[in-house]
Structure 1
């Protein structure tokens, strides 16, 4: 069972040593997966635990909250990151709380306190163009120099390319915002989806004839917004066809981002259940309607279009070769502790 830790301070977590891979891991795309798998192979060869090390909030989110940078869109939330890293073989996942103290920590202090002190690293693996420490002053050469003093080796894996271009979270966000879900899936290694626990909303959709299963995005900024044809996973043996809205609901004066999925021909209580909503096609942008009647009329049109697109999606998937299932195993009890 994988374990989670959040603090840079504290005693050794891996007294016998560890292999550490470090990254933002937002979306866990093909480049991230290559890094974690390479580190997992090294850990097995050395007979040591694998530690996947990241940050929550991400550094760019911290600096955006402080007004020092634009707010970055997120591909996935903390729980999905934890579960994904566990499924790739991490024995220990660190989602370090990125705060003012950690932002001010020098690269050398981070190596001494976290990599050498808490994790007893024997090998540290990072992605291309890795930077760390105060003002991003540390790089691979810093890791190698400090590693020689603290008893570990450091290396960067080669970039993973698709269609001649490096796979990156930035590239995936651009594909999602353009509605290119096939391209995003190719870069991620799986269809793009957002998971979470169904929460109660204002139940306005129910009064309009469109009850929804609602997922909150916390204080994070989603990588996309609008109305979509979607599949909902976690209801039964097969994904459930649906139409979903991701945004702030301007017609009813919403504020925080909310993902609302209307499951076609479904009758049941989903409150408290964990589901995953897979995005298939973009239908339209979110917009404000003059009244609820106009909104309801448009919702009927959206639903009809989504049904049609999902019927085509089923046919296309039947023509494609079967792919192995995506592993989704982790400790739910541990994941619940992620803030």
Structure 2
């Protein structure tokens, strides 16, 4: 896997999975696995586009579930060809949704895979409907635990704060 950390990259074609992927939990893994599968089928590189720190950590000071090094290790194990890590700072947070779309265009995505709650751009004004105006989008439905609740980074943070390490580790996969 080639990591493009805090640098831009251009590609002739790709399949992209986009997300904060903090923890690279089972739900995140499903989004990334779909990108890898689709990229192999189309014979183009798979790309994970992610952020450091995750936006929730940046804006709300949430507990970070994995360091960037751990995140990259977990992503690599999923068979990804490239990972682009954008530095999420005050400057990045001010970018509007259309500027993010311009960034994605440089990767020439044949398809983009995201979770159903994906938002982007300043004030989270960009959404899946906007992305669909520019790219072919595949939305991955949430991965749920045995009781039917979606696995999420927020839920994992809550479990960790409650001392439920066995369950949180199970969700992290």
Q: Structures share a fold, TM > 0.5?
A: yes
The match for 1:181 among 154, 161, 165 is 165
Task: Report the 3-state secondary structure (helix = DSSP H, G, I; strand = E; otherwise coil) of the residue aligned with 1:34.
Answer: helix
Instruction: Rate the CA distance shift 1:139–1:8 in 2: closer, same or farther, 3 A.
Output: farther
Deviation at 1:61, TM superposition (A): 3.1
Instruction: Rate the CA distance shift 1:8–1:133 in 2: closer, same or farther, 3 A.
Output: farther
Deviation at 1:182, TM superposition (A): 2.0
Q: CA–CA distance in 1 between the matches of 2:50 and 2:117?
A: 16
Partner of 1:123: 111
Are residues 1:135 and 2:123 paired? yes
Task: Report the 3-state secondary structure (helix = DSSP H, G, I; strand = E; otherwise coil) of the residue aligned with 2:133.
Answer: helix
Are residues 1:98 and 2:96 paired? no
Q: CA–CA distance in 2 between the matches of 1:164 and 1:62?
A: 29
Q: CA–CA distance in 2 between the matches of 1:132 and 1:78?
A: 20
Deviation at 1:185, TM superposition (A): 2.4
Contact 2:57–2:64 (CA<8 Å) still a contact in 1?
no
Deviation at 1:18, TM superposition (A): 0.3
What's the TM-score, normalizing by structure 1? 0.49
Are residues 1:76 and 2:63 paired? no
Q: CA–CA distance in 1 between the matches of 2:81 and 2:122?
A: 28
Aligned residues: 172
Are residues 1:31 and 2:27 paired? yes
Runs of 4+ in 1 over 3 A off after TM superposition: none
Contact 1:56–1:97 (CA<8 Å) still a contact in 2?
yes
Task: Report the 3-state secondary structure (helix = DSSP H, G, I; strand = E; otherwise coil) of the residue aligned with 2:83.
Answer: strand
Structure 2: runs of 5 or more not aligned = none
- Per-residue CA deviations over 1:151-181 (Å, capped at 9, x if unaligned) read xx11211111112100001111111111112
Deviation at 1:127, TM superposition (A): 0.8
Partner of 1:61: 57
Partner of 1:3: 2
Partner of 1:161: 144
What's the TM-score, normalizing by structure 2? 0.93
Contact 1:140–1:155 (CA<8 Å) still a contact in 2?
no
Task: Report the 3-state secondary structure (helix = DSSP H, G, I; strand = E; otherwise coil) of the residue aligned with 1:84.
Answer: helix
Deviation at 1:99, TM superposition (A): 2.2
**RMSD of aligned alpha carbons:** 1.4
Which of the pair has more CA radius of gyration?
Answer: 1
Q: CA–CA distance in 1 between the matches of 2:96 and 2:54?
A: 17
5 Å-filtered alignment, 1:12-51, equals 12=10, 14-15=11-12, 17-51=13-47
* Structure that is richer in strand per residue: 1
Partner of 1:145: 133
Deviation at 1:107, TM superposition (A): 1.1
Q: CA–CA distance in 2 between the matches of 1:164 and 1:130?
A: 20
Are residues 1:109 and 2:99 paired? yes
- Per-residue CA deviations over 1:220-274 (Å, capped at 9, x if unaligned) read xxxxxxxxxxxxxxxxxxxxxxxxxxxxxxxxxxxxxxxxxxxxxxxxxxxxxxx
Partner of 1:85: 75
Structure 1: runs of 5 or more not aligned = 64-69, 148-152, 190-339
Deviation at 1:8, TM superposition (A): 5.9
